[in-house]
Chain A
Amino acid sequence: MAREMLKGNVAIAEAAVRAGCEAYFGYPITPQTELLEYMSSRMVELGRVFLQAESEVAAINMVYGAACAGVQVMTSSSSPGISLMQEGLSYIAGSEVPCVIVDVMRGGPGLGNILPSQSDYFQVTKSAGHGDFHPIVLAPASVQEAIDFTMLAFELAQKYRHIVIIAADGQIGQMMEPAELPPMKDYPLPRPNWALTGANGREKNVITSLYLNADEEEAFNNRLQKKLALIRSVEQRSDEFATDDAELLVVGYGTAGRIAMSAVQLAREKGLKVGLFRPQTLYPFPEQRLSELAEQVDMCLVVEMNAGQMIEDVRLAVKDSIPVEFYGRMGGNIPMPDELLRVIERYYAYSAVLA
């Protein structure tokens, strides 16, 4: 496959098509609208289902319905839209049906703005809806990763009958980079035996998240937690750069992670032993590898485009063994590499004193 110049939003859309997405339901919101627009022509051209819903509330419930019918289905939105989808996400998690959600995060709270942000880390990883659940959350840092993670998202959703959120931000959605798209997967997948396909020659299937009996609800939750524990044990993913001899470890994901890589390169050019740890799964958080690295480095510097959210997971992973410091920008401001370099230099000197 040749490299093509692809915009993040479009790349995710085409990757979803190639992963075998049978139905897309969405509502326009900047900065992900190109994804919806692309699907509006591409899905129809392929004879698949595209529908622009009347709201994000309706869109996620259409996703819920199509998922119950047993097809690979997705929606995409941005922060305020994801807030509206939380009700549906909770029902989907409580019904254990698979779906893929793309969140091209923007500045908040409230209407906020349309600029790149990571201020919904908590929302996607810890509070995607009421009740005890976490979606699987993938955080691409490049257009190529956006493609690869979209393919992975459909796989994981089917494998675990679970929600997978691709947490991108306005920058990943809007930027163009050369990237390779995978070939088209077999399509369509057969409908699973639990799906609502009509009680034809079998007992009826019922999909519900309602368990009025306390013991039944607890039993369901225990099963859900067991699934999440399995996901935590086998699905942690991360990327590293220059960590071998690193004394200061920068931790960042998505756009912040990729900018941090530039800053780490600049720091290395100055001879500073700085490395980058870039979580690719935000849930499950890659705590296994990070806790290993914590034994080797003197300090973690968490970089996010928010007020400090992932830092809580970093602190849980390193368990007070080393200091964990933070640098964040908000409001749609993106930290620049030289700005981060100055921060790194400051903490590097500080960590040297501590060591």
Chain B
Amino acid sequence: MTIDIIPIEHMQVVYDRPEALACNHTHYCPGCTHSIAHRLVAEAIDELGLREQTILVAPVGCSVFAYNYFTVDGCEAAHGRAPAMATGIKRVSPDKTVITYQGDGDLASIGIAEIIHAAARGEKITTIFVNNAIYGMTGGQMAPTTLPNQKTTSSPSGRDIASTGAPLKISELLAQIDGAVYVVRRSLHDVKHIRQAKKAILTALKVQQAGLGFGLVELLSTCPTNWGMTPVDAMHWVETAMMPYFPLGDYKIADSVHKLG
């Protein structure tokens, strides 16, 4: 039996590291979807040719080191304050592309005021909101997006909504705000949904480029470590447990965004 070896000059690159993604090992746990989200953001930056004009604002949470994983300028915000910091950057550098990358504790809990007001002002920034229904970095405590009855290290008997309130639906909430022109929820639990997420991130960055207003892409994500699941089970849990509570969809696509095509 012979093996055909394709001469190198006939090979073509079918999968590569995006230029905007740094050649670094991440510190994320096995099976965590942060790495997927990073790659999608980097691909979108590359495809729009924005790498040299992008400024990334990292949050406090598992993605605190996000600036290490991209080859764009970056900075580290205080917990929850990324939208305010991004506002400061964008207002003095309106020609730059400013992205905040925030988890659910950062954005939906301690930073809820900052995200709402950034949206209300129609800040021309893009927020990637990674919702995995738990505080990852501090070891699995209840988040504002933790599902009813979900067990966490600070809700050991399961989240009791009579006492802790119901999970916050951020995309639905922000969609009510006039300044928010593009607000969608996507999921990273399988290939089809990952492709849809990528498309949404591309659109969100185009919205910023066109100066239309505030844009946010919520990504339903996994935390196998703190959920106590295998990565595969975690992907399944996103689909079966999270998606019914946090339906995917386009919560706000302003007319101006439609016109972008």
Can you list 8 residue pairs at the A/B interface with Cβ under 8 Å? Answer: A23-B91, A51-B87, A61-B78, A61-B85, A65-B85, A95-B76, A207-B76, A210-B76
1/0 contact trace for B114-128 toward A, CB 8 Å? 100100010000000
In the complex, A148 Cα to B89 Cα: how many Å? 28
* B88 x A198 contact (CB < 8 A): no
Chain A neighbourhood of B78, CB < 8 A: 61, 64, 87-88, 91
In the complex, A153 Cα to B75 Cα: how many Å? 25
* A198 x B55 contact (CB < 8 A): yes
Among the 9-residue stretches B66-74, B185-193, B196-204, B236-244, the one with 4 or more Cβ atoms under 8 Å from chain A is: B66-74
Answer yes or no: A200 CB below 8 A from chain B CBs: yes
Answer yes or no: A22 CB below 8 A from chain B CBs: yes
Chain A neighbourhood of B87, CB < 8 A: 51, 58, 62, 65
Neighbour of A68 across the interface among B84, B85, B117, CB < 8 A: B85
* A51 x B91 contact (CB < 8 A): yes
* B71 x A199 contact (CB < 8 A): yes
Answer yes or no: B93 CB below 8 A from chain A CBs: yes
1/0 contact trace for A42-71 toward B, CB 8 Å? 000000010101110111011111111101
Q: Can you add 9 more A-B contacts, CB < 8 Å, to A62-B84, A69-B93, A206-B74? A: A23-B92, A51-B121, A62-B87, A65-B87, A65-B89, A95-B75, A196-B55, A198-B55, A200-B53
List residues of A whose CB falls within 8 A of some B CB.
22-23, 25, 49, 51, 53-55, 57-59, 61-69, 71, 73, 87-88, 91, 95, 196-201, 204-210
Closest A residue to B67 using CB positions:
A206
In the complex, A201 Cα to B54 Cα: how many Å? 13
Closest A residue to B90 using CB positions:
A65
Chain B neighbourhood of A73, CB < 8 A: 88, 92
Chain B neighbourhood of A88, CB < 8 A: 78, 81
Q: A23-B88, A68-B75 are in contact. Are A61 and B93 (CB under 8 A)?
A: no
In the complex, A197 Cα to B54 Cα: how many Å? 8
Closest A residue to B70 using CB positions:
A204
* A204 x B88 contact (CB < 8 A): no
Of residues 37 through 93 on chain B, the ones whose CB sits less than 8 Å from some CB of chain A are: 51-55, 57-58, 64-65, 67-68, 70-78, 81, 84-93
Shortest distance from the beta carbon of A185 to any chain B beta carbon, whole Å: 17
Q: A205-B73, A206-B67 are in contact. Are A196 and B89 (CB under 8 A)?
A: yes
The 4 closest A-B pairs by CB, nearest first: A65-B88, A61-B84, A62-B88, A65-B85
Closest A residue to B68 using CB positions:
A206
Closest A residue to B121 using CB positions:
A51
Closest B residue to A191 using CB positions:
B93
Shortest distance from the beta carbon of B85 to any chain A beta carbon, whole Å: 4
* B114 x A61 contact (CB < 8 A): yes
Chain B neighbourhood of A54, CB < 8 A: 113-114, 117
* B73 x A58 contact (CB < 8 A): no
Closest B residue to A196 using CB positions:
B73
In the complex, A197 Cα to B259 Cα: how many Å? 30
In the complex, A95 Cα to B93 Cα: how many Å? 19
Chain A neighbourhood of B53, CB < 8 A: 198, 200
In the complex, A196 Cα to B52 Cα: how many Å? 11
1/0 contact trace for B25-44 toward A, CB 8 Å? 00000000000000000000
Chain B neighbourhood of A23, CB < 8 A: 88, 91-92
In the complex, A210 Cα to B55 Cα: how many Å? 18
Neighbour of A199 across the interface among B52, B75, B85, CB < 8 A: B52
Residue with the greatest number of chain A CB neighbours at <10 A, chosen from B76, B77, B86:
B76
Q: A65-B84, A65-B85, A65-B89 are in contact. Are A208 and B73 (CB under 8 A)?
A: no
In the complex, A61 Cα to B106 Cα: how many Å? 14
Residue with the greatest number of chain A CB neighbours at <10 A, chosen from B73, B88, B89:
B88
Q: A58-B114, A201-B52, A210-B64 are in contact. Are A196 and B84 (CB under 8 A)?
A: no
Residue with the greatest number of chain A CB neighbours at <10 A, chosen from B54, B71, B77:
B77
Chain B neighbourhood of A197, CB < 8 A: 73, 93, 96
Closest B residue to A62 using CB positions:
B88
Q: A57-B84, A198-B54, A206-B67 are in contact. Are A62 and B76 (CB under 8 A)?
A: no
Closest B residue to A49 using CB positions:
B91
In the complex, A88 Cα to B65 Cα: how many Å? 19
* B92 x A69 contact (CB < 8 A): yes
Chain B neighbourhood of A51, CB < 8 A: 87, 91, 121
Shortest distance from the beta carbon of A301 to any chain B beta carbon, whole Å: 42
* B92 x A199 contact (CB < 8 A): no
In the complex, A251 Cα to B67 Cα: how many Å? 48
* A71 x B114 contact (CB < 8 A): no
In the complex, A354 Cα to B248 Cα: how many Å? 82
Shortest distance from the beta carbon of A120 to any chain B beta carbon, whole Å: 21
Chain A neighbourhood of B64, CB < 8 A: 210
Q: A58-B113, A65-B88 are in contact. Are A198 and B96 (CB under 8 A)?
A: yes
Chain A neighbourhood of B65, CB < 8 A: 210
* B84 x A58 contact (CB < 8 A): yes
Chain B neighbourhood of A65, CB < 8 A: 57, 75, 77, 84-90
Residue with the greatest number of chain B CB neighbours at <10 A, chosen from A63, A71, A204:
A204
* A204 x B72 contact (CB < 8 A): yes
Closest B residue to A91 using CB positions:
B78
Chain A neighbourhood of B86, CB < 8 A: 65
Residue with the greatest number of chain B CB neighbours at <10 A, chosen from A66, A68, A205:
A68
Residue with the greatest number of chain A CB neighbours at <10 A, chosen from B51, B68, B81:
B81
